[in-house]
Structures are given as C-alpha cells and as structure tokens.
Amino acid sequence: MLEVGMKLEVEKLVTDNDTASKAASGAVEVLATPFMIAWMEEASLHLAQKGLENGLTTVGTEVNIKHLKGTLVGKTVKIVSVLREIDRKKLVFDVETLEDGVVVGTGTHTRFIIDPVKFYEKLKNANAKAQEFINKESGANLIPAFELATWGLQAAEAMAWEENKKADTPILNGIAAARGVDENVLKAAALKKAKQYSKLTAHVAGERQAIQDRIQSAKTIEEIEGIVIGYTLPEEK
C-alpha cells in the first residue's frame, strides 16, 4: 500500500558510461545530468512499485531537478526518493542525489499510476480499427493477398506513366491484356486509385498517431478509457 513518507535509497557507482560526454550533454568527465535524473526516476519507480497492486505500474510525467555539483568517475552516489504526495493516481516524490553526504542533485519527480494492460489494449484496438477502416474504404478487404502485394508496384508504374507515357509498365499492361481493356484507360484508373489510397492512408495514419499520442499522455486509467477511437475520410478538395 502506498503511503506518504515511503522512502527508498539506492547506491550507484559512476562509471565512464555515465559521464556527460557519453550522454552528449557536455564535454566534462563527470556524472551526466540526464543519467542522474534517470537514476532518480528509477528509484521513484521502484519505490512506487513496492506499494502498488499487482498489475499496476507508473509512468513519469514531470521532473524538476537541480544539478548542484559534479561527481567524478569512480565515486559512489546515493539516490534517495521519498513519496511526498498522493493525489488519486498522481504521485509526487522528493528526490536527492548525494555524494559522501553532500547534495549533488535535488528536486521533485511526478509519476502517475496506470494499468499497462488497459494501455496496450487501447493502443492495439486503435491500430486494429485503423487497419480495418483502411481495408474497408479502399476495398482491400475484397482483394486476395497475392493481388494486394502488387498494389505498390501498380502505383509505381502508374506514377511513372503519368510522368512519361512511354514508361515501362509490364504489370499494368499484363492486367489490361488479361481484362481485355485499353492499357491507357487502365493506367489512368490505376493512377487515380493510387492517389486516393495515398491520401486516405496519410489521413488515417495522422488520426491514428494522434490517438496514440493521447493514449501515451494519459495520466489516469479513466483518461485512457475515455479516449474515443474512430477514423474519418479525408476531405475532398
């Protein structure tokens, strides 16, 4: 059970891999600020996990840290995280990094409790519905897999034909011959379809990514559950 005042201390040895030069945050061979903050987040994560029900976890949403002193390679620092505040799903930690009792870094870190199963289920649902929408609106759900595999090639040939009417288009020519239709009529139809498909997939991809952004930024289970998953056709211009 989570309780205000819970505390976790962890010791970390500063190695060559933990320096500012390795983190690309500076040229000095001392403990990098990004690594120090990551250790503070890690300590807070483990502290919270000790008091959570099985199946729940936390995600970091905010850090407010001051790095006050450089720490050389080979030194050992102590990371201290104390749970200061519990506000429903929001957890606020006081965090410190100390070297030989001297404060190296200090600040606060905020985390939110989430249900990872609900998180990933929502994301999987968003992805599945996006694919289902594309398949329905493009007619792909009515086409056999072997033919779908040629769509990209057909589109490339149609685009090449648009640029140069003498371009080599063996797939489109073969389809036209088998169907008994004029090659140029089929190429024009394939070009129109390719452009429509490209516009559709770009639009739906943007909507899906926006939904993913909302899922990933959700701070509570209720927020995740409240996200509506739906897709629309691009506007005609």
| 124 and 214 share one domain | yes
Q: Give pLDDT, residue 118.
A: 82
Q: Which of 88, 114, 140 is the last residue of a domain?
A: 114
Alpha-carbon distance of 79 to 97, in angstroms, equals 5
Catalogue the E-assigned strands of the chain.
7-13, 57-67, 76-87, 90-99, 102-114
Is 127 exposed, middle or buried, given 0-12, 13-18 or 19+ CB atoms closer than 10 A? middle
Is 118 exposed, middle or buried, given 0-12, 13-18 or 19+ CB atoms closer than 10 A? middle
Q: Which of 85, 114, 143 is the last residue of a domain?
A: 114
Tokens 């559709």 belong to 200
Alpha-carbon distance of 22 to 24, in angstroms, equals 5
Which has the higher per-residue pLDDT, 207 or 112? 207
Range of the domain at 130: 117-226
Could you tell me what percentage of the chain is helix, strand and coil, using 3-state DSSP and rounding each to the nearest 5?
50, 25, 25
Q: Give pLDDT, residue 107.
A: 98
Instruction: Tell me if 236 is assigned to some domain.
Output: no
CB 219 within 8 A of CB 89: yes
Residue-wise pLDDT tens digits, 173-192:
999 999 999 999 999 999 99
Residue-wise pLDDT tens digits, 26-43:
888 999 999 999 999 999
| 139 and 98 share one domain | no
| 31 and 110 share one domain | yes
| 87 and 178 share one domain | no
| 152 and 107 share one domain | no
Instruction: Tell me if 162 is assigned to some domain.
Output: yes
| 57 and 122 share one domain | no
| 98 and 157 share one domain | no
Q: What is the pTM of this model?
A: 0.60
Residue-wise pLDDT tens digits, 122-156:
999 999 999 999 999 999 999 999 999 999 999 99
Residue 194's alpha-carbon distances to 73, 118, 157, in angstroms, are: 58, 36, 10
Q: Which of 91, 114, 137 is the last residue of a domain?
A: 114
If we measure between CA atoms, which residue out of 137, 3, 1, 112 comes closest to residue 59? 112
Residue-wise pLDDT tens digits, 87-109:
988 999 999 999 999 999 999 99
Q: Give pLDDT, residue 74.
A: 96
Q: Give pLDDT, residue 212.
A: 92
Instruction: Tell me if 234 is assigned to some domain.
Output: no
| 123 and 205 share one domain | yes
CATH number at residue 74: 3.10.129.10
If we measure between CA atoms, which residue out of 58, 63, 18, 19 comes closest to residue 40? 63
Instruction: Tell me if 220 is assigned to some domain.
Output: yes
Number of domains comprising the chain: 2
| 53 and 85 share one domain | yes
- CB atoms < 10 A from the CB of 19, how many? 21
3-state secondary structure of 59: strand
Instruction: Tell me if 215 is assigned to some domain.
Output: yes
Which has the higher per-residue pLDDT, 66 or 117? 66
| 159 and 185 share one domain | yes
